[in-house]
């Protein structure tokens, strides 16, 4: 890091007007979608999520909002702020949602306009059942809104197959790109919903305004002063993803999750998300032993030069996250995570088998 020449960031060339549309099309290809538009939000993904909630909310709208992390809770709050009636379906802290809980909520309602959920969580390692949620939304002709910020590039997402109406995309997680520009994929049905109400423009939260100022004008330069550094970085991140192949990027995340889970089990501890198919491929969480705050373990690992992460949300302090997102979805990062976690447990007199953990990680990566 210290050798990085900060002057390289100065005076970037303008991002060419005719590159935005191809850039959006490349994002569409990540979802293998032929329907739906992609628009850019010139901000971090949380703002894109707020823009989506604000653009679809209105008095009388009935939303079933799945909450498996603070992101979902914020989304529900933004919908409610816009006048929507929000039925929150909360998972057990830090765990994925059970489709049956969402189905029970939907069944109690005479009418559902929106079903919203995070796909994969980087904050706790939960993976929500996208297919089941999609089917529930479809069964009620509700808009299906997905926070795919973390999952894009980490899990297969098929916008068309799952009949997704709105997906929010960030480049800073599995795609290993910049955090300062985001994208939103929007179906024709979602545009019709948004357009059915007078726009609240001018506003940075208005998807209708993005559509009018960019899509409807032939997708050339974005209005305002687009952040050239961020767009060049997104372009370069997509180059790297395409060179590897998105299927391979997804497979690399799956393998990192598999190896992390096998490593933890061989160490003698159970992953926080018990079922493999309900675990996200971005991070693997593990419970801190009774009586030990997660931050103590994280601080010990930092002394080894390994960055373990705390949980985000209600489970902060109770879990440690082994991060294998983006470039960290690799043998060396997984091995360092698992062995460092074993080492810090051992230091606190927890009996672990670090040798077996190393072998288990190796076995998953064995060529
Ligand atoms: C990371 C993430 C976001 C965006 O958060 P940032 O603060 O912009 O990084 C939104 N949703 C989910 C599920 C995420 O993992």
DSSP 176-205: ---SS-EEEEE-HHHHHHHHTS----S-TT
What average pLDDT score do residues 323-349 get? 98
d(CA 322, CA 336): 9
The tens digit of pLDDT for each residue in 288-304 reads 999 999 999 999 999 99
pLDDT digits (tens, 9 = 90+) for 174-216: 999 999 999 999 999 999 999 999 999 999 999 999 999 999 9
Return the ligand 1 atom nearest residue 119 CA: 13
pLDDT on residue 33 = 80
Percent with pLDDT over 90 in the chain: 96
Provide the pLDDT for residue 268.
98
Bond from prior residue into 276 cis (ω within 30 degrees of 0): no
Which whole number is the average pLDDT over 20-39? 92
Question: Which stretch of DSSP H or E encloses residue 63?
Answer: strand 62-67
Write down the pLDDT at residue 1.
Answer: 57
Residue extents of the structural domains in the chain: 15-243, 246-365
- Would the pLDDT of 3 be above 80? yes
Domain 15-243 grouped into CATH 3.40.640.10: yes
Range list of β-strands (E), 96-165: 114-118, 143-147
Q: Which of 122, 130, 281 best tests ligand 1's pocket when mutated (most atoms within 8 Å of CB)?
A: 122
Give the Cα separation of 206 and 198 in Å (integer): 11
Angle between helix 354-365 and 331-347 (nearest 10) = 170
Ligand 1 near 118 CB (within 6 A): yes
Residue 258 CB–ligand 1 contact under 6 Å: no
131: buried, middle or exposed (CB in 10 Å: 19+, 13-18, 0-12)? exposed
CA distance 354 to 83: 53
- Torsion angle in degrees (nearest 10) through CA of 248, 253, 256, 261: -130
Is the minimum distance from the CB of 150 to ligand 1 under 6 angstroms? yes
Q: Which residues pair with 66 in a beta bridge?
A: 89
Handedness of CA 143, 137, 68, 230 (dihedral sign): negative
Q: Which residues pair with 285 in a beta bridge?
A: 321
Measured from the CB, is residue 147 less than 6 Å from ligand 1?
A: yes
Q: Phi then psi for 363, rounded to 5 degrees?
A: -60, -35
Run of H or E including 364: helix 354-365
Q: What is the pLDDT of residue 32?
A: 77
Q: In which element (H, E) is residue 29 found?
A: helix 20-30
Provide the 10 A C-beta neighbour count for residue 32: 13
In the chain, how many H helices and how many E strands?
Answer: 12, 10
The dihedral through the CA atoms of 179, 168, 251, 266 has a sign that is positive
Probe target for ligand 1 pocket from 43, 45, 179, with the most ligand atoms within 8 Å of CB: 45
Res 114 pLDDT > 70 = yes
Q: Is 170 in the pocket of ligand 1 (CB under 6 A)?
A: yes
Across 258-283, average pLDDT:
98
87 CA to middle of ligand 1, Å? 22
Give the model's pLDDT for residue 35. 87
User: Ligand 1: which of 91, 123, 130, 170 to mutate, judged by most atoms within 8 Å of the beta carbon?
Assistant: 170
50: tokens are 């707020």
Whole-number Å distance between alpha carbons of 29 and 23:
10
Per DSSP, 221 falls in state S
Q: What mean pLDDT do residues 110-137 have? A: 98
Of 69, 71, 75, 166, best ligand 1 pocket probe by most atoms within 8 Å of the beta carbon? 71
Does 222 have pLDDT greater than 70? yes
**Ligand 1 contact, 121 CB (< 6 A):** yes
Asked whether the predicted pLDDT for residue 239 surpasses 60, the reply is yes
Topology of the domain covering 246-365: 3.90.1150
**What are the strands of the beta sheet with 85-90, ordered from one edge?**
37-41, 182-186, 166-170, 143-147, 114-118, 62-67, 85-90
Residue 63 neighbours by CB distance under 10 Å: 26
Q: Give the gyration radius of the chain's Cα atoms.
A: 21
Q: Which residues pair with 320 in a beta bridge?
A: 286, 310
pTM: 0.97
DSSP 293: -
Q: Is 71 in the pocket of ligand 1 (CB under 6 A)?
A: yes
pLDDT given at position 270: 97
Return the ligand 1 atom nearest residue 150 CA.
15
Mean pLDDT of all residues in 95-112: 98
- Whether the CB-CB separation of 280 and 125 falls below 8 Å is answered with yes
Is the per-residue pLDDT at 34 higher than 90? no
């Amino acid at each position: 890091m210290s050798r990085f020449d900060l002057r390289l960031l100065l005076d970037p060339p303008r991002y060419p007007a005719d590159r935005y549309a191809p850039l959006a099309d490349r994002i569409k290809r990540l979802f293998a979608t032929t329907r739906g538009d992609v628009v850019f939000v010139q901000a971090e993904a949380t703002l894109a999520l707020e823009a989506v909630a604000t653009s679809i909310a209105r008095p009388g709208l009935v939303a079933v909002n799945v909450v498996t992390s603070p992101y979902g809770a914020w989304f529900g709050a933004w919908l409610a702020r816009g006048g929507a009636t929000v039925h929150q379906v909360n998972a057990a802290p830090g765990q994925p949602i059970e489709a049956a809980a969402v189905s029970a909520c939907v069944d109690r309602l005479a009418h559902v306009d929106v079903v919203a959920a995070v796909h994969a969580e980087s904050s706790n390692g939960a993976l929500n059942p996208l297919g089941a949620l999609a089917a529930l939304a479809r069964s009620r002709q509700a808009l299906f809104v997905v926070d795919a910020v973390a999952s894009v590039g980490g899990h297969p997402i098929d916008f068309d197959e799952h009949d997704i109406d709105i997906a929010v995309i960030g480049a800073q997680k599995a795609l290993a790109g910049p955090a300062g520009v985001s994208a939103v994929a929007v179906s024709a049905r979602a545009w019709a919903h948004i357009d059915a109400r007078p726009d609240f423009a001018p506003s940075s939260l208005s998807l209708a305004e993005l559509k009018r100022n960019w899509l409807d004008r032939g997708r050339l330069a974005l209005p305002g002063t687009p952040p050239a550094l961020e767009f060049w970085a997104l372009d370069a991140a997509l180059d790297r993803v395409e060179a590897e192949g998105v299927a391979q990027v997804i497979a690399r995340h799956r393998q990192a999750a598999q190896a992390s889970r096998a490593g933890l089990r061989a160490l003698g501890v159970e992953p926080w998300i018990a079922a493999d198919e309900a675990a996200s491929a971005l991070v693997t969480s593990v419970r801190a032993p009774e009586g030990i705050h997660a931050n103590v373990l994280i601080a010990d690992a930092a002394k080894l030069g390994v960055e373990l992460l705390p949980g985000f949300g209600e489970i902060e302090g109770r879990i440690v996250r082994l991060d294998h997102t983006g470039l960290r979805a690799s043998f060396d990062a997984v091995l360092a995570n698992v062995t460092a976690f074993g080492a810090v447990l051992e230091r606190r007199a927890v009996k672990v088998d670090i040798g077996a953990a190393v072998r288990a990680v190796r076995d998953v990566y064995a060529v």
